[in-house]
Amino acid sequence: MLNMAFKCILWFAQEHVNFRISEFESLAKMFGLQFRLVSQQLLKPFWIVEFPSEKTALQYASRSVALRAIFELYSYANTLPDFHNRLRSHVDTHHNELARHFSSDSSFKITVETYNKHFSQREKVEKIETMDYLPIEGAVDLKNPRVELWYLEFWGLDPKAVPPVPEDILFGRLLAQGQRHLIKDLSLKKRKFIGNTSMDAQLSLLMANQAMVRDGDLVFDPFVGTGSLLVSAAKFGGYVLGADIDYMMVHAQCRPSRISQRIREKDESIRANLKQYGCADRYMDVLVADFSNPLWHPRLSFDSIITDRSSIRNSRGNGKSENKKEWERGHTQRGHDPLSIHFALLAAELVLRFARVFCKAPETWRTPRVLASLPSRGLR
C-alpha cells in the first residue's frame, strides 16, 4: 500500500464551488496522482489531503485554477488548546525536518488568514504571538521571505450565522500558489476578440482542466463561438481546432459586444486571441460547419472535445415567450430526442480511448431519460 505521508492543506477560492471536486479528481487522474482525502465537508475552502510526497502536491498545484494555495500541514484542530498541543507535538516529532526551515540563515513570515470573520491587524499579531514556542531562529522578512508560514481559521460558511469560536484552525508552510493568475492573464476585458457568448476565463480554464488537456493534445470545440475554450486549452499546451455554424462569428464580422466599440477591428479573430496569449503555434483552424452533420474522417481522433452548447441558446434572438418556453422544456417532453444525444454519440466515435468529452449544459438536462440515453464511454 502506498504511504500517504505528506499531509497538505488545500485552500480553495469560494467561486464555482461545484467545479472544485471535479477539477481535483480530473487533475489527479491526468497526472496519475495518489491521494487520500481526509476532509469530509468539501464545501469548505480548506481541505486536508494526504499525498505520497511534496513533489506530488506541487504537481497538482501546477495546474489547479480552483486552488488558491497549498501548504504542508503542521497542525489542525477544532479548538485552540488542541491546536497548540498538536503544533507543539509536530515540532518535537519533526525537529530534524523543520530545522532547515527554522534555522538562523532562513528568513520567515507568518500570515494570518480567516474565513467569514474579520480581525484587526493587532488581533492578528496576537494570534501569531500565541505560537512563540516555535523554534524559529531566522529573521523576519515581510517582503521576500524564504519560508512563509500561514495560520488559518475557518468560521463557517454562513456570514449571517458566524459561530462564537472557529470551526477549524490550521497551520502550515506555504508550498505553492495555484494557477489563479491565469484568470487575470486571460481576462475578457483585454481580449482582442470577444462576443456576447464568450465564456468567462475562469470557467474556460476549469473546463480545460476537467477535460484533462495536456501538452500536445488535439482539442476540438464544435460550437466554438469566439474561441474562449480554445484559448484555455491552448494555454495548457493543446493544439486547438473549432467549428461553428455562424459564419459571421467565425470570421469576426458580427456586431461588437463592447459598448464603446461600434465596428470590429480588421485584425480581430480567434487566431488573434491565441496570438495575444503566445499560443499562435497551437492554433490549427476554425471551420464554418454544422456539427449535427458528420464532417470528419472516421480515422480522425481528438484527445478532448470541450464545448458550451448553451451559447447557442444565449445567442438566439428574442422570440415569442410561449415559443421560448416550449423550446426550453422540449427535452422533458415525451417522444423528444435531444440533439445533444446525437452529438454525444458522435463524440464517442471521435475521441481517443481514455480521452474525455466535457460539455457545459443546463442542470435541467440531468433527467433520468437523457442520462440513460448517453453512451457509457466516459461521457456521463
Sign for the CA dihedral angle at 313, 318, 319, 322 comes to: positive
The mean pLDDT of the chain is 86
Q: Which residues contact 117 (CB under 8 A, 6 or more apart)?
A: 153, 155, 162, 166
Q: Which of 215-224, 310-319, 341-350 has the highest mean pLDDT?
A: 215-224
Instruction: Report how far residue 120's alpha carbon sits from residue 159's, in angstroms, rounded to the nearest whole number.
Output: 18
Is 319 or 358 the better-scoring residue by pLDDT?
A: 358
In this structure, what C-alpha cell is assigned to residue 175? 508550498
- What confidence score (pLDDT) does residue 4 get? 72
What is the rounded average pLDDT of the residues 29-35? 96
Band (pLDDT 50/70/90 cuts) for residue 273 is very high
Instruction: Tell me the pLDDT band of 260, cut-offs 50, 70 and 90.
Output: confident
- Which residue reads 484555455 in cell numbers? 232
Rounded average pLDDT over 85-97: 96
User: Which comes out higher in pLDDT, residue 140 or 259?
Assistant: 140
Domain boundaries, the chain: 6-179, 184-373
Is residue 375's pLDDT more than 50? yes
Question: What confidence score (pLDDT) does residue 329 get?
Answer: 52
Is 206 in contact with 16 (CB distance < 8 Å)?
A: yes
Q: Is 86 exposed, middle or buried (0-12, 13-18, 19+ CB in 10 A)?
A: middle
| CB 331 within 8 Å of CB 368 | no
pLDDT surpassing 90 at residue 219: yes
Could you tell me which of 186, 189, 191 has the C-alpha nearest to residue 201? 186
Residue-level pLDDT at 319:
43
The model's pTM is: 0.85
The answer to whether residue 265 scores a pLDDT higher than 90 is no
Nine cell digits for residue 203: 470557467
Q: Are strands 283-288 and 239-244 parallel, antiparallel or unpaired?
A: parallel
- What is the mean predicted confidence (pLDDT) over 334-363? 56
Each residue's pLDDT tens digit, 157-213: 999 999 999 999 999 999 999 999 999 999 999 999 999 889 999 999 999 999 999
- 239: number of Cβ within 10 Å: 21
Q: Are 115 and 154 in contact (CB under 8 A)?
A: yes
Percentage of residues in the chain with pLDDT exceeding 70?
81
* Residue 24 C-alpha from the chain's centroid: 8
Report how far residue 122's alpha carbon sits from residue 139's, in angstroms, rounded to the nearest whole number. 20
What average pLDDT does the segment 121-136 reach?
97
Q: Of 139-148, 245-254, 317-326, 344-353, which range is least confident?
A: 317-326
Nearest to 340 by CA among 371, 318, 296: 371
Answer for the pair 183, 65: CB distance below 8 angstroms, yes or no. Answer: yes
Q: Strands across the sheet with 351-360, in order?
A: 283-288, 239-244, 218-221, 302-308, 351-360
**Fold classification of 184-373 (topology level):** Rossmann fold (3.40.50)
CATH 3.30.2130.30 applies to domain 6-179? yes
Sign of CA dihedral 241, 247, 252, 257: negative
Give the phi and the psi of residue 149 in degrees, each rounded to 5: -105, 140
Query: For residue 316, what pLDDT is reported?
Result: 45
> What confidence score (pLDDT) does residue 379 get?
41
